[in-house]
Structure 1
Amino acid sequence: MLTVDFDRLGVGAGTKVIDVGCGAGRHSFEAYRRGADVVAFDQSAEDLNDVDEILQAMKEQGEVPASAKAEAVKGDALDLPYADGTFDCVIASEILEHVPEDDRAITELIRVLKPGGSLAITVPRWLPEKVCWILSDEYHANEGGHIRIYQADRLRDKVLAHGLQHTHTHHAHALHSPYWWLKCAVGTENSEHPAVTAYHKLLVWDMVSRPWLTRTAESVLNPLIGKSVALYFSKPVVPVAVS
């Protein structure tokens, strides 16, 4: 389930991509599949071990172009171990809401991006996230949980303050918002609740089969209740004054 639109980013053969806070690796896998040279970056060694196994399996099974390269790297998003302007594309999907020093993290994301490169940031959208917080403290008040709710325009302005240009915004995963509202209402750990189980089966069916009905419904609902908001930026080749 991708949140980032890779066609918009222009990721392809030879593109240098870092997926910061890669988690289970969904965006790293897609970039690799498209032929990019990928760094799957995260602070969780356990997640990275799983991601690395899948990256290696993709290579062995011929699912990626022969020229593509990928590695899983453990580290801190507040101190990325790369020189300025290393990557053509930087992805940070669903991580900033977890990071206390989000301004510092944004600075690092921009620092390692090449002039002319693209940055994609996704976070939970304000309204669906607010409903979750109202329904359940358990949803966010835990170690490593969400520590803030972003308004998209404020997050956009944080990035623009570094001199980047905003190129696009879209919303995604509208069908997932009611699922999380339901989980918050019955208890986030109550995965065996019949309603939660039934809705989860619907989501799995949708992701596997991608039927016309649910794809159309989600495209209509995304502007209203999309669970995530994705913001895209470009880094000017000629630096501009920052505020």
Structure 2
Amino acid sequence: MIPSTCTIIIPCTNDAEHLRGLLPRLQEVLHELKNSSEILVATNTDTKDNTISVAQQYGVRTVAASEPGYGSALLAAFSACDTDYIITMDPDYSHHPAFLKYLFQMRHEADIIIASRHTPGGHSETPRYRRWTSCLLNIFLGKALALPIHDLTSGYRLYRRSAIAQLNLRHSTYAILPEILVKAWSEGFKAYEIPFHYLPHPEHKRKAHVRSIQVALDYLGVLKEMWKVRNSIESADYDWRGFDSRIPLQKWWQRKRYRIILEFIGNRLRVLDAGCGSTQILDAAPQAIGMDIKLRKLRFVRRPGRMLSNASVFALPFRDAAFEVVVCSEVIEHIPEDPVILDELLRVLEPGGSLILGTPDYGSWQWPFIEKLYGFFQRGGYADEHITHYTRASLLDSLQKRGLEILETQWICSAEMIVHARKPSK
């Protein structure tokens, strides 16, 4: 049963006749489910027929966007909702109203549930050329945007409202559909697909054909913008994707760092990864607590049973001597130099415990050179993010002044240093 915490949004443009067919059936489905969920019809300035009056005849609430376009109607409806969940569907009965119960039953699986035509088991009962065009377009978008989603263009979805409320959505066309997924994924929210059979009404074939061409152009028109969002270092899964990067050097570098850190951790159980980001080290060291100041990164790496903490290295929320190993990799160069950082890392480390500290070495020529190349080929990457420049000499001096014993230093391309140090035993 769907409780009254769900709003069903129907974006419309001159869809009065469609609503006459859909609304009574949708209301019947909701009545059979014994729920009081709200239906909201959203129009835009392209609407010239009596869509609003038809909706009102069925006692359905309406909202009108002040601009043209599908996306405008959707945004106006989002702003008018205060329920926990939102389901969006088309008015032409191509989205069967009975299917919404499947969407809602899956609401705990992810923040966005997609009725997918292209996931295994899904289908689109459209002419072959349209079916293949849609399939190829979605494959292209998924690969270009590094999203593990088969159907980025389906409009039949369930959203957790608290998730989409955090997204800065702006597109007024059908491009809002991939925009939502890209920005949600980049904020660490998850999407889940369930197989769906898309069955367009026969009398709407010509309209659907014209729309499909325009929709494809809308999607391709925002591809560059969405690519920048996905490849920003702020994207929740930026570090995680580096492990399997399409760039061979980045992939090798990430895996080299991963192996060095795991070797230093060994088989010890009480481990803190301070500033973990979305690293895959947490997958290889499931005993570790992941801590990061950026909630989106933690949102992405959440797993059942995984221990995560949203906090700052300037004030670690752990008791003294809580850990056998403290890892802080590729963090200290991103924040102002402050003795509090090392003091806090050492405070939570037990006597005789291991501190694993990784950062670029600005005392060599290799890292500054790589950084310039990185900035040229990967704009928006880490090249401009390093505000504190450590050298091997300055870092080791800071550690030794605190009484740490330097056990080993390993390098990646003589550019990134990973120091393994031991805190003095009492």
> What residue identity is the alignment partner of 1:49?
R
* CA distance 1:79–1:94, change in 2 (3 Å): same
Are 1:74 and 2:310 matched, yes or no? yes
Provide the rounded CA distance (Å) in 1 between the counterparts of 2:300 and 2:275. 14
Are 1:30 and 2:284 matched, yes or no? yes
RMSD: 2.2
Provide the rounded CA distance (Å) in 1 between the counterparts of 2:370 and 2:388. 12
Provide the rounded CA distance (Å) in 1 between the counterparts of 2:283 and 2:344. 23
Are 1:167 and 2:407 matched, yes or no? yes
Partner of 1:228 in structure 2? 416
Provide the rounded CA distance (Å) in 1 between the counterparts of 2:423 and 2:351. 5
Provide the rounded CA distance (Å) in 1 between the counterparts of 2:382 and 2:329. 17
Q: How far 1:85 moved relative to its partner?
A: 0.5
3-state secondary structure, aligned to 2:402: coil
- Count of residue pairs brought into register by the alignment: 164
Partner of 2:366 in structure 1? 128
> What residue identity is the alignment partner of 2:388?
R
Larger relative contact order (CA 8 Å, sep ≥ 6): 1
> What residue identity is the alignment partner of 1:23?
G
Q: Deviations over 1:184-241 (max 9, x none)?
A: xxxxxxxxxxxxxxxxxxxxxxxxxxxxxxxxxxxxxxxxxx3421101111212xxx
Counting only pairs closer than 5 Å after superposition, residues 138-217 of structure 1 correspond to structure 2 as 142=384, 145-172=385-412, 174=413
Q: TM-score, normalised by structure 2?
A: 0.36
Q: Deviations over 1:102-126 (max 9, x none)?
A: 4221111111100011010011132
Provide the rounded CA distance (Å) in 2 between the counterparts of 1:49 and 1:82. 20
> What residue identity is the alignment partner of 2:391?
Q
Q: Deviations over 1:30-60 (max 9, x none)?
A: 221xxx3x2100011111011113xx3xxxx
Unaligned runs of 5+ in 2: 1-254
Match of 1:17 among 259, 266, 271: 271
Provide the rounded CA distance (Å) in 1 between the counterparts of 2:284 and 2:316. 22
Provide the rounded CA distance (Å) in 2 between the counterparts of 1:70 and 1:6. 18
* CA distance 1:72–1:2, change in 2 (3 Å): farther
* CA distance 1:141–1:171, change in 2 (3 Å): closer
Provide the rounded CA distance (Å) in 2 between the counterparts of 1:168 and 1:237. 18
Partner of 1:84 in structure 2? 320
Identity %: 27
> What residue identity is the alignment partner of 2:293?
Q
Q: How far 1:10 moved relative to its partner?
A: 2.4
* CA distance 1:83–1:167, change in 2 (3 Å): same
Q: Deviations over 1:130-162 (max 9, x none)?
A: 2245565966675xx101222112101111111
Are 1:44 and 2:294 matched, yes or no? yes
3-state secondary structure, aligned to 1:160: helix
> What residue identity is the alignment partner of 1:95?
V
Provide the rounded CA distance (Å) in 2 between the counterparts of 1:2 and 1:104. 29
* CA distance 1:166–1:232, change in 2 (3 Å): same
Provide the rounded CA distance (Å) in 2 between the counterparts of 1:132 and 1:2. 16
Runs of 4+ in structure 1 over 3 Å off: 132-142
